[in-house]
Structures are given as structure tokens and as C-alpha cells.
Amino acid sequence: MSPEDEARRLDESDPLPTLRGEFLVPPAPGGAHAEAAYFAGNSLGLQPRSVAARLREELDDWARLAVEAHTQGRRPWVGYHELLREPAARLVGARPHEVVAMNSLTVNLHLMMASFYRPAGTRTRIVIEDPAFPSDSYAVASQAVHHGLDPAEAVVRLKPRDGEDNLRTEDVLAYLEREGDAVALVMLGGVNYLTGQLMDMPAITKAGRAAGAVVGWDLAHAAGNVPLRLHDWDVDFAAWCTYKYLNSGPGAVAGCFVHERHVRDAAVPRLSGWWGTEPSVRFRMDPDIAPPASADAWQLSNPPIMALAPVLASLEIFDRVGMDALRGKSERLTGYLASRLAPAVAEVITPSDPAARGAQLSLRVRDAGGLVRRLAEAHGVVADAREPDVIRLAPVPLYCTFHDCHRAAEALVDLL
């Protein structure tokens, strides 16, 4: 059996049939194939076919009802964000009152740090990973400056060992045990954007909290990628975007988690806005806020309906399929792609252990940008480059197939 036939056989026999037909797959660049083999879902997910109809419904309500759609629309706008609460909670392993859809990722991280980064005495450090996504680096540095601290001293970037690309969990735990008295906040990426490494979130959370620190997670590359149990892991807070694995469109409204021990604590300081007060008194226009005992207390403004509609449509897909089933297929797809890349002359910097990676393989190559262009133009394979020397391929289980992985492997072997 040829490798291509084997890939097609795997697609036909997989326990989770592909949902590719529910997404709009772009045409292949260069005309080599009808559709692209799309491996850039860790940057921007594909559009679900259901999104356009959902948006048209909201536009129709706006046209027919105008302001009255806030209370009379088919999905009344005044409480629209509440429609996302339970599916978002199931997605990240939370209780409904612990999650809220709002803002963008970095805005939410700043709101969380405004509440939970409270340096005092010698406990001032923020621990992130190296490499962290640049926005996280900028955010924590600016928070340190906001508190009158020097980021060069306050921000600790945990680095892999010499000659390695991924952080070892034991090294993170050892740092927290050794230096924990000086750590105010641990805020790592659940899945590293560059390498695809899945961090041991339960172990690191436990160690950070035992050291007396607050533990938050940037789940930009983890939400919709790997199963999460934020409540059970005792995470203090987390934030994620929804335009990568969650397929909600460019710049889509993000999500936020705050553990219930904090949402029930009225003494937790927070930056407040209109939508952070109890709905029952919101329209009294009182000057004094009455925050609810939920993550909604961190909301600032009324929800952007046209931006939330695609998130709701996407969450409905995840609710129907389930993260455990998606994780199983993710491991099968990523493992198959890894096995097919063995002959390629490229260094894989993603962990080889399926339990230690998400739906991503990162390769170290020369001229990453040029290679990505050639993959698209000559083979219709869409990946992305992280200059100077890394390309990333994300076999997203909702719409990527074994045949897509076959195409990517054949193209890389040919070009490398």
C-alpha cells in the first residue's frame, strides 16, 4: 500500500471522522490541489460554515429591532455573553460562574494581574518562560514598571537547559522550591507557542501555590487544543484567545477564568466597569458598583454581539464533539505526521512524547520564511514561520486529515 493510500485508509477508519466539511477550507496556493492542507490553525483557525448564518441572524435582529434587540432579539443582547458561559466552562474544566467571554487575551491578562499581581516586600517576581509569546513579555514587564519595579529584576524567564528547546518540569518545580519566597506570580503558557510543548499545568500550579505565589496561565495555544481542568487543578486565573484552535475569527473575543475562591471574595481588588455590576441593578445607573460573585465582576463593557456570535458558533462544535475525542485524534494526527517526517533533514524541537505536546510540530530549518512560501506555492501546504529558523505545523483535529499530513510530509521531504 502506498503512503498516500495508507493515509486515506487512516482517514476512513479513524474513530473520530473528520469535521472538515463543517469548515471553509481555502483553495491551495499555486493550484497544486483543490484545497490547501492547512496547518496554520495555531495562528488562525478556519471559519466554521455556521458562522455566516449566525451573524446574519444578529444583523437581521439589529435591522428589525434596533435597540429593542437587547431584550427582544432571538438571543437577547443584554445577556448574550451568558450563552457562552457553560460551553466555555466545559471547554476549560471550570464551573460556569468562573468563566466569562470578554476583551482580548492581553487585556484580560492585564485585568488579572491588576487583581492578582500584588508585589510586597521581597515577594515581587513574575515567572514566565523563555521563549514566552512577546505580548506576555511586554505585559509582565509593564506590570512591573507600573508597580515601580525594574523588569530586569522582577521578571524571571525560565530557560531550557543548554542544548535543549523545552523546559523540564523538574526544573520549574526546583526553581519554585528554591526561590518561591520571592515569587509573587507564576504566569506560563499552557502550550508554548514556539515549540508546542504542553506544560505540566497541575504539577506547576500545585508547586507555585505551595510556594505562596499566585498561579495564572496563558492558554492561547491550549484552549481547544488540550483537555483542561482549571478548577480541579486549583489555578488562580487563566486567559485565552479564541481565534486559534477555537476558530472564532481574527481578533475574536477572548475568554477568562477566575477560580471561585476569588470570585466569592469581595476583598479582591479589580478594575471595574459597567458590565461588572449585578445585572439586576445595572440599569439603575448607581455610582456604586455591586459586583456579582462570578467572573463577570471583571467585565468592563457591554459585550460586542457581532464578535461573540462566531465564538458561540464555535463552542457549539466543541460541545458536540468533546475535548477528549479531539485530543485523541490530535495525538493520532500529530504522531502520524511526526513518523512521516523522520526522513526529512530537519530538527523537530517539539517534545517527542505525545503527552508533552499539543497539536503542533515545530521544525528548525534554514530560511524558515522561504520554506513556508515554497510549501504553499509548490505543494499547497499552509504552515507558518517564526523567524529566523522555525516553521510550525498544527494538525488541528477538527479539519486536518491524515491525507493532509501525508501531503505535508511529502512536501517537506521533497524541499528539505
Averaged confidence pLDDT in the chain:
96
Residue that finishes a domain, picked among 319, 350, 384: 319
74-133 tens-digit pLDDT: 999 999 999 999 999 999 999 999 999 999 999 999 999 999 999 999 999 999 999 999
**Looking at the domain assignment, is residue 48 inside a domain?**
no
Sign of the torsion formed by the C-alpha atoms of 393, 399, 403 and 404 = negative
Contact 93, 217 (CB under 8 A): no
218-241 tens-digit pLDDT: 999 999 999 999 999 999 999 999
Q: What is the pTM of this model?
A: 0.96
**34 and 65 part of one domain:** no
Grid cell, residue 214, equals 499566585
> Does residue 23 carry a pLDDT above 70?
yes
> Does residue 32 carry a pLDDT above 70?
no
Residue 258 neighbours by CB distance under 10 Å: 31
Please give the average per-residue pLDDT across 159-176, as a whole number: 97
pLDDT of residue 1: 87
**87 and 217 part of one domain:** yes
182-224 tens-digit pLDDT: 999 999 999 999 999 999 999 999 999 999 999 999 999 999 9
**351 and 405 part of one domain:** yes
Pick the range with the lowest mean pLDDT from 32-41, 152-161, 380-389.
32-41
**232 and 359 part of one domain:** no
Burial class (CB in 10 A: 0-12, 13-18, 19+), 191: buried
Beta-strand relationship, 47-48 and 125-129: unpaired
pLDDT of residue 325: 98
CATH number of the domain to which 374 belongs: 3.90.1150.10
314-340 tens-digit pLDDT: 999 999 999 999 999 999 999 999 999
**244 and 379 part of one domain:** no
Looking up cell 499530513 gives: 405
CA distances from residue 330 to 46, 121, 354, 361 in whole angstroms, order as listed: 16, 45, 9, 11
